[in-house]
A and B are shown apart, each in its own frame.
Chain A
Amino acid sequence: MKTVYLVFRREFAGYFATPIAAVFLIVFLGMATGLTFFVASFFDRAQADMSAFFLWHPWLYLVLMPAIGMRLWAEERRSGTIELLMTLPVQPWQLVLGKWLAAWVFAGLALLLTMPLWATVNYLGSPDNGVIVASYLGSWLMAGAFLAISAAVSALTKNQVLAFIGAVVVGFLFVMAGFDLVLSAVKPWAPQIIVQAISSMSFIGHFQRITDGVLEVPALIFFISLIAFALWLNVRILEVKKAA
């Protein structure tokens, strides 16, 4: 666990050693609040809840999480430092977990900085704070899933732009999994069970159930399993690349 912590600490500090952290936080907060107030018309709704805020998170994360995840491995490969990391007497999973945790905690920090909005909603009315807490947690887990996917894609290449695009494409499939755009490509030939399986992968579907305040546990389990799977895949990619 100490190794995981060391990797985490180095990686987390790395965000703040460059302008990445500041730029990301400003863009994230700007977009999150902009979408809430101007696109989802937070005030016009005149409802004491935060659904106008959480509504956009899958789309926001689709673009912003690959932006923090793309560097995790691609940058190491480009600069050659991956040779240092992979020849240290540590297990690849410790590196994978530490790096992902750093990105995830960073995303959590960004999410934490939106809390004034929560305070505002409580000042203006009396929202269901239980649902809001569950929504924050669900949003953070969904961010973790996007990041785990981004990290695994990043391990495939030394090109950060490719890592970004790849992660957005895979993320997009997950976001849209419940919609006809994706399902119509499968429906004509796949058996019903496959179609259902794919539509049950929908980020929006699971996240909506969390923000609606119903059926939270299966949705949480979905995101946690997806994170675990993507991290496992990340480890496998590193191992396969050694033998390639």
Chain B
Amino acid sequence: MTLVETRGLVKRFGSFTAVNDVSFSVQRGEVVGFLGPNGAGKSTTMKIIAGFLEPSSGEAFVAGHNSRTDALAARKRLGYLPEGAPAYPDMTVGDFLEFIAAMRGLDATAARRRLGILVERIDLAEVWNRRIEALSKGFKRRVGIAQALVHDPDVLILDEPTDGLDPNQKHEMRELIRELAPEKAIVVSTHILEEVEAICTRALIIARGQILADGTPADLLAKAPASDPERQRLVKTTPLEDAFRHITLEQAGA
């Protein structure tokens, strides 16, 4: 079942084209990794799917609902973690999550039940009454994930969910995403390549607003050039890194 679909998305900011004709779809059960250099258009594409930005042309669908013309229905089916996991610093974790749950239309009983599950799963009990401004990066990121999962959405759009986390926290976040994967369609952006191998069923490599490669991590590996043993000795790179460099730099003519 197709839960996310974009058709010819284009987004221009003035004369700059951030996203240029991006089309792809994501099925239930897939975890799609959005890979690309900084400024490649990953976040902009995610913002369009989430309905925060409107595309200059093209369309995005969430569970069959057009993110622009049928925005409320689309948003109901979608959980979104914006870049940097923003949250209100002056609220406690509990107040913040209850606020989001209420804004998403959950009544008090449903919210309590759902938040109870999330608190346990995402391990938020010890910070429940703490103000968000006093949280570590790891906890802040977890609050952001909890916020996106409050309504148990079919579609998850996570913009750099592991950015700034320590290795243990990264591992936990990946476990969580993997665990959620079977019932949902998940799009994750990252520039950490090992993450793609660890959790994604598919990877989209995007640079300068365009999709350059779309396939399983194994497909991408096949595109890696034969590694130069001399260089590999000097700079340790993984085969996936080589593939990424090969695909994104090739386009630039480098």
Measured CB to CB, the residues of A under 8 A from B are 2-3, 6-7, 10, 14, 17-18, 79-81, 83-84, 86-91, 242-244
Contact = CB atoms under 8 A, between A and B. Distances in A.
A9 B99 CA distance: 10
B32 interface: no
Interface stretch (B84-92, B117-125, B164-172): B84-92
B191 interface: no
B134 interface: no
B24 interface: no
Nearest to A239: B54
B88 A242 contact: no
Contacts of A7: 103
A81 B86 contact: yes
Interface of chain A: mostly helix, strand, loop or mixed: helix
Contacts of A17: 90-91
B78 to A, nearest CB: 7
A88 B75 contact: yes
A80 B84 contact: yes
Contacts of A87: 50-52, 75, 78, 80, 82
Contacts of B103: 3, 6-7, 88, 90
A83 B83 CA distance: 9
A212 to B, nearest CB: 42
B47 A83 contact: yes
Interface residues of B, number: 29
The 4 closest A-B pairs by CB, nearest first: A80-B86, A17-B90, A83-B82, A89-B75
Interface of B: 13, 47, 50-54, 72-73, 75-76, 78, 80, 82-84, 86-91, 99-100, 102-105, 147
A91 B80 CA distance: 17
A83 B84 CA distance: 11
Contact of B88 (A81, A89, A91, A243): A81
5 contacts: A79-B89, A80-B84, A89-B75, A243-B53, A244-B13
A204 B5 CA distance: 55
A80 B204 CA distance: 25
Contact of B72 (A81, A89, A244): A89
A243 B54 contact: yes
A242 B99 contact: no
A188 B83 CA distance: 52
Nearest to B84: A80
A89 B76 contact: yes
A6 B52 CA distance: 21
Contacts of A10: 88, 91, 99
B160 to A, nearest CB: 12
Nearest to B82: A83
B104 A86 contact: no
Given A79-B86, A80-B86, A90-B103, 16 more contacts: A6-B99, A6-B102, A10-B88, A79-B89, A84-B86, A84-B147, A86-B51, A86-B52, A87-B52, A87-B78, A87-B80, A88-B75, A88-B100, A88-B103, A89-B75, A90-B72
Which residue, of B90, B103, B147, has the highest number of chain A Cβ atoms within 10 A?
B103
Contact of A81 (B50, B51, B83, B87): B87
B191 to A, nearest CB: 19
B234 to A, nearest CB: 40
Contacts of A84: 80, 82, 86-87, 100, 147
B206 to A, nearest CB: 20
A21 to B, nearest CB: 11
A5 to B, nearest CB: 9
